[in-house]
A and B are shown apart, each in its own frame.
Chain A
Amino acid sequence: MKFKLTFWKVIFLVIMALGVYSTFIRYFYGLGAVSNMTDQFPWGLWIGFDCLCGVMLAAGGFCIVGAVYLFNVERLHSVVRPAVLTAFLGYLLFIVGLLFDLGRPWYIWHQLIYMNPHSVMFEVGMCVMAYTTVLFFEFLPNVFERFNLQAPIKWIKKIYPVLIIGGILLSTLHQSSLGSLYLIMPSKLHPFWYTPALPFLFFGSAIAVGLAMTIFESTQSAKAFGRHLELPVLVELGGALLVALWVNALLRFEDYFHRGLLGEIIKPSYEAYFLWLELALAFVIPITMLSFKKVRLSPGGLYLASVFTVLGFITNRLNIALIGFETYVGHHYLPKWTEFSVTLMIIAMGFALFGLAVKYLPIFPEERHAVTQRLRTETEPVVATPVLGHAGD
């Protein structure tokens, strides 16, 4: 096999090289040398992006598994595997990120023996650990199929209901609990982002981003691996995304309304600028776009709307984790380049591992299967019909 150096491969290698350097600084000179975190800003980019956003970006796994196996939306079957793969990689990389951020990562296993059930962090930790295990089992059939091992696939099929229900339960718990982490900081986090509704908002945004990420990665991998794009699937996801965005937007509005902040948020201020950016990216732009049927039916439009959604909610979580504390602390926090470089390395690893998995494992349905799927969907209306409406035919 010949190794061809492409533009993206060069970028990847540069990111990895800088990342390795930063990793060296992190473990040989300490957190103080590698980051701009201080006693005033004990949580920086790694918590804000790698952890808060990482877990949100991996939410597609439980969203799609829930839709397909819980609600029997069979049309989405072809995106289950890529969604589970993204989630599995996402959680693995979340743990990698944690190993950078924790001051004493070599004691991470203490979580299992010195339990403090009052701690939200403890709950998040346990759920993430358990859910990563669930995702591992949901991912395993790919490997078994690759090596044509039928027996273990049967075993996993037997425990599948437990995996599905357990996975969704664990996801509900820790996706919302990531928001609960901040409930104990009412005097520190800016009122634009501190709200008792944080757990609900975090769960809601996880679903919206989970759907958006599934559109994003399907389009992206169609481009990258020259696969046929299954438009009806994307259209269905786009419709669901529009609903999820509306629900999220209403939740946010209700929250500001009840706390009497509607007048505050329209007044220009440092925090307001970031809030406007977040609201524009997460709600105004994608909702407007998806409201046009033309956009909702075009792969390019759906792709763009999902990118805006993802960027919007990333801004939201970074606002909560970083911007929302600046007024309390009294100064700004800008991550050091080595912090960015570690985060970039983790993202690059995600893309690379996804690429490798798609190359060597049966992640995407075989072409033959895809063709029948396409024929079937093309002859049917794209709007959701009761799954078993035609079951008795």
Chain B
Amino acid sequence: MSNALLYDATMCIGCKQCEGACAQQNKLPYDDKVAAESVQSAHKYTVVLTKDDKFMRRLCMHCEHPACASVCPVGAFHKTKEGPVVYDVWKCIGCRYCMVACAFAQPKYEWQSLNPRVRKCIMCPDRVVAGKQTACAEICPTGATKFGERDDLIKEAQERIRQSPSTYLPRIYGLNEVGGTSVFILSGVKVEEYGYPASAKIGDTPMPEYTGRVMERIPDFIPVWTLVLGGIYWVSHRREEVAAAEADEKNGSAR
């Protein structure tokens, strides 16, 4: 049973209470200065952006097939069955492949730290496992951020679009992007205007497939290539041996 978040930009009033609740939940500093920051960072997992009196929230999309989890050499990320994509800091070696691989550029880094961690929204996994909603959804005064079961939220989003087609663009961002995510965005304007990658650009293919196509060949490639190399080695050295033996014979008969 997988959970998800539905963010409806048309219901958002830009109060930024989700930012504050997120900071509190993750024990991060939050004051007016942080509130004014309009970029996500190692100390700001989610941000509410403002443009022409309209708002948009950004946070980790919690992909169904997360790129970060597939690229991490030590498996520090994994998708839980409850929905959140979580991070085990004690495994991390700090290669930052997750940061370059993520199509939504969500993992951020503690650049100033001497023992840096990757930071991103982890969808309050402790709360979710305990059956509670995420901190941001709980505090949201208008219900713009809603927590629930993934399938239910998809149905609800479709219903909202059906009931007021003039309010919404007819798409649920996150439904199919990179094979589907666990965060859905409903909006009257294009999410791309707020820095989300265009759907056409990131496509519907789960990110791990791009490298998976190559990686899945390796178990076959190793024995085949070993045999080929071994074969070449054997042939070229066999010829040498034969030649040496012939030379020996010749020398022997000459003597």
Contacts and interface: CB of A to CB of B under 8 A. Distances in A.
A121 B225 contact: no
Contacts of B42: 39
B214 A199 contact: yes
A186 B204 CA distance: 12
Interface stretch (B107-115, B121-129, B186-194): B107-115
Contacts of B109: 31, 39, 42, 103
Contact size class for B?
35 or more
B67 A184 contact: yes
B224 to A, nearest CB: 10
Contacts of B71: 118-121, 184
B166 interface: no
Interface stretch (B11-19, B25-33, B96-104): B96-104
A336 interface: no
Contact of A165 (B76, B201, B229): B229
5 contacts: A39-B108, A39-B111, A116-B73, A165-B233, A183-B210
Interface stretch (B48-56, B86-94, B133-141): B86-94
A12 interface: no
Interface stretch (B151-159, B168-176, B236-244): B236-244
Q: Which 9 pairs show the lowest CB-CB distances between chains A and B?
A: A103-B94, A32-B111, A116-B75, A391-B243, A42-B99, A122-B73, A114-B74, A104-B94, A121-B73
B226 A165 contact: yes
B207 interface: yes
Interface of A: 27-33, 37-40, 42-43, 69-72, 101-105, 107-108, 110-111, 114-123, 125, 161, 164-165, 168-169, 172-173, 177, 180-181, 183-188, 199, 387-388, 391-392
A103 B116 contact: yes
A102 B93 contact: yes
A184 B246 CA distance: 55
A164 B71 CA distance: 30
A177 B221 CA distance: 13
B72 interface: yes
B145 interface: no
Contacts of A121: 71-73, 95, 97
Given A118-B71, A187-B203, 7 more contacts: A43-B96, A72-B236, A119-B73, A121-B97, A123-B218, A125-B73, A184-B101
A296 to B, nearest CB: 26
A168 B203 CA distance: 37
B243 A188 contact: no
Nearest to A164: B233
B212 interface: yes
B228 to A, nearest CB: 9
